[in-house]
Structure 1
Amino acid sequence: MEDYEEEREAFLIWMKDAGYTPYTQKSYLADVRQFLASLGGKKLEIVKKLHVVSYLTSVRESGVSDATRNRKHASVTCFFKALIELELYSVNPAAGIKKSKTDKNREPVYLDENDLQRFLSAVEGKYKGRNLAVFLLMSYMGLRVGEVHTLNMNDYNVERRSLRVFGKGRKWRNVPVPEDVAPFLDQALEERLDPWRSKEEAMFISQKGRRLSIRGIQQIAAQTFERFQAQVPVAHRRPYSSHKLRHSFATMLLRKGADLRTVQELLGHSSIQTTTVYTHITSREKEEAMSRLQIRIPENTLQH
């Protein structure tokens, strides 16, 4: 039975060198381990496209979403790409396999401005200042959970009221800090917890004195959403998560008439196609548009 230790080690070194976040490294490695376990001990040199498709099919049949299946495909593709670049292998059997079609027409779950206000009012507890700043960065500046997690103290330019964000695809972008958000961010930095290590640069520190983790942010959001929906019957509660705050930001901007290209830049999307998912229209807006039509039908055409 092969354990592929050398290849897994090589993949990890490659990801670290390429600047992947620890979170991405962990999830890609987990996917690759699952794929390697599915090979039944075959040597990697003889792995063909068929083996990769077979793995992805079994993953799909286990009940995961198309998006998760696509992520696992990306992990395996990346794994072979790394091995080729490190000159361990010469063929990528995962290349050229089609992605699963995800449901393009599904509207993103988001909060409108009134809901956002109520959500922010539900932030409470000992670390309220820090948590409020975290949620404001996501809901009024569109940051991803991972981006909030990687923020360092020197990424915030107080004079210019601008935040330097390290996003997906290892790309930096500058996001203006809205005037109303700045005081909350300033306060959170004033109240910043003492880090366990003196050289810790993280902007947000956990109660254990370390950089606030992605999982930590997600848990704080889940608890806040629970309080936010406390009065809503369980059957009618919506599947909110920290990422929905970013959806809310994008939706609000577009509703205020922001240009799609600008929203793409602010969100750090590499493709404008990704941004178009936020151009969802509500039934109310459809009805309003239809009501503007001047409908003139010749008399006596209605059959009785």
Structure 2
Amino acid sequence: MDTLITDFIRYMKIERGLSENTISSYQRDLKAYQHYLIHVEQIDTFDAVKREEIRQFLYFLKDEGRADTTIARMLSSIRAFHQYQIREQVLLHDPSDLIEMPKAQKKLPKVLSMEEVEVLLDQSNGTKPTEIRNKAMLELLYATGIRVSEMMDLTLDDIHLSMGFIRCIGKGNKERIIPIGDTAIRALEKYMQQARPQLLKKNKHDFIFVNHYGKKLTRQGFWKILKQLTKEAGITKELSPHTLRHSFATHLLENGADLRAVQEMLGHVDISTTQVYTHVTKTRLKDVYSQFHPRA
């Protein structure tokens, strides 16, 4: 069983070109699936799995209190894995076929208001190398809507400040070109000229954002920075690493941007993924109406 999972993960990484985060997610899901089959169903080969065992696994996850979105993702991982085994002629049929995906409740993304974004960006003003770096990162995220993982992977060849755009490699190794505004350009220029050389020390690599050891900054490292800055700014909303990405998309649409253009900048394959932000803007309009209309 271990060998099949290892081969599948290698296939998804090399042949499909999926991101490290997606690969890790597949690996965790399939290990949990394998553990259940062995220790609950006493099944030690995947060719012995039937549709009922997979259904029971989903019920087991539900009883554990797993979110519908998590269960749906795990079923998607199981399906992809069994389809891979059929392609490799390890299995003759897919036991996950015809199992209905749990209906996940769609949660609207958490976004900051424009005023809260301003407060957060102002909070990161400072003269220390790390403060200049933090300012550049926040300005870049809000200016482009790229994912934090994509920002961490940016290299010197990816930023073209004189021409006003960055090149980003997103999910599935797909490239997209994203314009960047003057404010973010100034913050990046300051970081590149004043702070990065100090943070880099004697290290030599092309990654744009580095930690105080001079090495590539990680997604987890940025998340810690964002939480601290949010706390210092007095923002009490529950945030995620995607908060500035969500705010970028919402604020563009609120100010009349074309949905297709926002989809392209975010790197969404399906426009329905982008359309969730139109629901956010409607919800915010209702909040404004309720707050300010005299007869609301």
Tell me the TM-score normalized by structure 1.
Answer: 0.82
Question: Residues 138 and 82 (structure 1 numbering): CA distance in 2 closer, same or farther, change over 3 Å?
Answer: farther
- Write the distance in 2 (CA, Å) between the matches of 1:88 and 1:217: 42
Residue in structure 2 matched with residue 241 of structure 1 by the alignment: 240
Look up the SS of the partner of 2:182 in the other structure.
Answer: coil
Cα deviation, residue 25, structure 1: 1.8
Q: Is the 8 A contact 1:166 1:172 kept in 2?
A: yes
- Structure 2 gap segments, 5+ residues each: none
Question: Residues 180 and 60 (structure 1 numbering): CA distance in 2 closer, same or farther, change over 3 Å?
Answer: same
- Write the distance in 1 (CA, Å) between the matches of 2:9 and 2:203: 25
Residue in structure 1 matched with residue 120 of structure 2 by the alignment: 119
Cα deviation, residue 64, structure 1: 2.4
- Write the distance in 1 (CA, Å) between the matches of 2:220 and 2:92: 37
Q: Is the 8 A contact 1:164 1:172 kept in 2?
A: yes
Cα deviation, residue 53, structure 1: 2.4
Look up the SS of the partner of 1:89 in the other structure.
Answer: coil
Post-superposition CA distance 1:116-168 (Å, at most 9, x none): 01111233665112222222222221111221122222111233221111122
- Write the distance in 2 (CA, Å) between the matches of 1:152 and 1:92: 42
- Write the distance in 1 (CA, Å) between the matches of 2:84 and 2:269: 22
- Write the distance in 1 (CA, Å) between the matches of 2:201 and 2:81: 35
Tell me the TM-score normalized by structure 2.
Answer: 0.84
- Write the distance in 1 (CA, Å) between the matches of 2:34 and 2:207: 35
Match of 2:74 among 69, 72, 75: 72
Residue in structure 1 matched with residue 163 of structure 2 by the alignment: 160
Counterpart amino acid of 1:35? Answer: Y
Counterpart amino acid of 1:182? Answer: I
- Aligned pairs for 1:83-162 within 5 A: 83-104=85-106, 106-123=107-124, 126-162=129-165
Match of 1:39 among 37, 49, 57: 37
Counterpart amino acid of 2:76? Answer: A
Corresponding pairs, count: 280
User: 81-90 or 266-275, which moves further after superposition?
Assistant: 81-90
2:173 pairs with 1:174 = no
Q: Is the 8 A contact 1:225 1:241 kept in 2?
A: no
- Write the distance in 1 (CA, Å) between the matches of 2:206 and 2:122: 29
Question: Residues 261 and 286 (structure 1 numbering): CA distance in 2 closer, same or farther, change over 3 Å?
Answer: farther
Post-superposition CA distance 1:27-62 (Å, at most 9, x none): 221111011000025210121232222222222222
Look up the SS of the partner of 1:23 in the other structure.
Answer: helix
User: 65-74 or 108-117, which moves further after superposition?
Assistant: 65-74
Look up the SS of the partner of 2:183 in the other structure.
Answer: coil
For the aligned residue pairs, the C-alpha RMSD in angstroms reads 2.6
Residue in structure 2 matched with residue 21 of structure 1 by the alignment: 19
Structure exhibiting the larger radius of gyration computed from Cα positions: 1
Question: Residues 92 and 219 (structure 1 numbering): CA distance in 2 closer, same or farther, change over 3 Å?
Answer: farther
Cα deviation, residue 251, structure 1: 0.8
Question: Residues 215 and 90 (structure 1 numbering): CA distance in 2 closer, same or farther, change over 3 Å?
Answer: farther
Q: Is the 8 A contact 2:19 2:171 kept in 1?
A: no
Counterpart amino acid of 1:107? Answer: L
Relative to its length, the structure with more helix (as a share) is 2
Q: Is the 8 A contact 1:10 1:83 kept in 2?
A: no
Question: Residues 135 and 30 (structure 1 numbering): CA distance in 2 closer, same or farther, change over 3 Å?
Answer: same
Counterpart amino acid of 1:194? Answer: L
